[in-house]
Structure 1
Amino acid sequence: MRFRTCTSPHLIPGHSVGGVMRQVLYALVPGTLAMTWFFGWGVLVNVSLAILFSVAFEALMVAARGRPVLATLGDSSAILAGWLFALAIPPLAPVWVLLIGTAFAIVVAKHLYGGLGYNPFNPAMVGYVVVLVSFPRELSLWPSPEGLTNASLSLLQTLQTTLTGRLPEGMDWDAITRASPLDMMRESIVSGQTVTEVTQSPVFGSFSQTEWEWAGNLFLLGGLWLLYRRVITWHIPVSMLLTLATVAGVFWVIDPDYFASPAFHVFSGAAIIGAFFIATDPVSAATTPTGRILFGAGIGLLIYVIRTWGGYPDAVAFAVLLMNMVAPTLDHYTRPRIFGHSRDGHG
């Protein structure tokens, strides 16, 4: 009797690359809808255009490398990179910012390093940092978070603003934009106000500006769903947010008039989306359990240091990219020992 044999693997994997990427995309939906509700149609316009550009650049690079285009596009990694990049930039950013950012994310940060699985840096964060450093004015024009202040911009007006870089006639940037919570806190502290005085502003909720809190809560909900589905592990999100809160708490206790509270730092800016959706990138993050904890802790520490004493109010992208460089070293020194072998792999 003959038995049919086949090569390994013999078990069907629980998660495919495309399946994992799509679950992350599903988890981004609640927070994205919240941002759209509070900041207008520009959020969805940015996401749509960034995905379109990312997929186009992905197809172009895959074809140039002689790889199967449709099979590669099916893993949805380009869609995820474009979506995350779009959430990082202001909703009314001009279309050329989206084009340049996605080009750097997909072409440079991903494919010039060998494609998915070989990129040492998070592609979306590379694209965001490039446009942030290059075009600071365009990256500072966030719509006012006071309810639906920018609701006067219809979908058609939003498209016109994105494609032309100009507001509709009769509108002014100063009238519809306002500093983000982190920008407002930094500028107010520098001008001599205390943290208590800043947070007395009606735009602030329990911890941060109300709209940013709601978006953060819904991204947190999506992140917890990813943990429940075991798409990501707890190591990086918990260590990152716990370190950020702990360091912020120490300085807050020392001088609460000058340093913002831990809750403010966690619920402002991109801390939550960074913890669950950006820092957990399986390619550019550390891979060992101990390495992930150290990786997340390093990001949390760097976020606080750059926010407090650096030149940029929200430091998630810079912190992630800096720790991406450290990830291989963390994996090397935290490699678990294999039975019968030393940590360096020799018998």
Structure 2
Amino acid sequence: MENRSPYIVNAPSVSTIMLKVLLALIPGIALYVYVFGLGVIVNILLASLTVIMTESVILAIRKLPIKPFILDGSGLVTAWLLALSIPSIAPWWIIVLGTLLCITFGKHVYGGLGYNLFNPAMVGYAILLISFPSIMTHWQMPNNLMASPSDWLDQIRVIFNSNLLPKETLDAMSSATPLDYIKTQLTLNQPLNTIQQDKIFGFIGGRGLELINLGYLAGGLYLLKEKIISWHLPVAFLSTLFLTALLFNVLAPDTFASPLFHIMSGGSMLCAFFIITDPVSAPTTPKGKIYFGVGIALLVFIIRIFGGYPEGIAFAVLLFNICAPLIDSLTQPRIFGHK
């Protein structure tokens, strides 16, 4: 029998897609544990438990079946992304509160999966950053090798009760992020090459953050291979961030960090492959995805350099989430046969 179009292709289910996204995060998480210790695992576990409990309550209130929505994995992806975005030694209630905000105000207030206007993880993160800036900008000092069991115990004590450790120990465990440290020191008229001699910096970006970002890159390439995401968003974001940072670095190398520093520090790789690629809150047209990625990268760089926060990913993503429907409407491909 002759084959005729149209051909029906079995699209992967939501749960299959979300499972692959979770699997893609594992290399970055493993390297995160290697550099910073078990704190991130505690955050992920707390976030996962919170999302299951929160969604169960909300779905019960909405009189919707609980099992299909819990098992689709979308809530866990949101929880993991938030857990990877906050400091690994933040108090336990920070991740619980943030996850509650993500699921309530980032997802279900709009009607649930597929209806959210904003990226849920970035909603929770932005609220936490605005509400608790001191907690959200102090990260654990990276380790040269995997932390010892005593270090892990100290991390868990900090997460659940920081009063169990003396202030000197807490100060030794935490530091500002490399992006924040550069911005602060530049205001004190310190040259960039002197600033980057600090122990929190590595060969390219923040010490240890290079490894973690390479883990996210490996996971992102897996998502591209599995066709869970398309190349448009990550390529547009990373290339624009690189070229913009390169331009400023060439013009004033003593003031502006190298483009590789911006790529391998902060949440650049996580943003490129796991955050802006959210299929609900991002544009759907190929050209729209490129404009979306370019716009977010430019705004991230502007906030990093000139804004009041060291990292601008959450604010840039949320702002362009608002623009996604307009971008889609302006970038619709021409219908075949129409001028």
Q: Same fold (TM over 0.5)?
A: yes
Answer yes or no: is the 8 Å Cα contact 2:90–2:159 preserved in 1: yes
Q: Assess, with a 3 A threshold, how the Cα gap between structure 1 residues 336 and 125 changes in structure 2: closer, same or farther.
A: same
The reply to whether residue 218 of structure 1 matches residue 208 of structure 2 is: no
1:233-271 deviation per Cα after TM superposition (whole angstroms, max 9, x unaligned)? 000000001111111111111110011111111111001
1:286-324 deviation per Cα after TM superposition (whole angstroms, max 9, x unaligned)? 110000000000010001000000011111111111110
Matched AA of 2:323: V
Answer yes or no: is the 8 Å Cα contact 1:286–1:295 preserved in 2: yes
What is the rounded CA distance, in whole Å, between the counterparts of 2:334 and 2:320 in structure 1? 24
Match of 2:265 in 1: 268
How far off is 1:18 after superposition? 0.8
Matched AA of 1:222: G
- Output aligned runs, 1:8-27, within 5 Å: 11=8, 13-27=10-24
Matched AA of 2:69: T
1:39-84 deviation per Cα after TM superposition (whole angstroms, max 9, x unaligned)? 1111100011011101211111112111111011111000000000
How far off is 1:178 after superposition? 1.4
How far off is 1:200 after superposition? 2.9
Alignment RMSD: 1.9
Deviates most, 279-288 or 135-144 = 135-144
Match of 1:173 in 2: 170
1:42 to 39, 44, 47: 39
Deviates most, 164-173 or 98-107 = 164-173
The reply to whether residue 182 of structure 1 matches residue 179 of structure 2 is: yes
Match of 1:67 in 2: 64
- Runs of 5+ in structure 1 lacking a partner? 1-8, 343-347
Q: Tell me the SS of whatever aligns to 1:178.
A: strand
Match of 2:91 in 1: 94
The reply to whether residue 228 of structure 1 matches residue 225 of structure 2 is: yes
Q: Tell me the SS of whatever aligns to 1:142.
A: strand
Matched AA of 1:287: T
How far off is 1:217 after superposition? 0.7
2:316 to 319, 328, 337: 319
How far off is 1:101 after superposition? 0.6
Q: How high is the TM-score relative to the length of structure 2? A: 0.93
Deviates most, 330-339 or 20-29 = 330-339
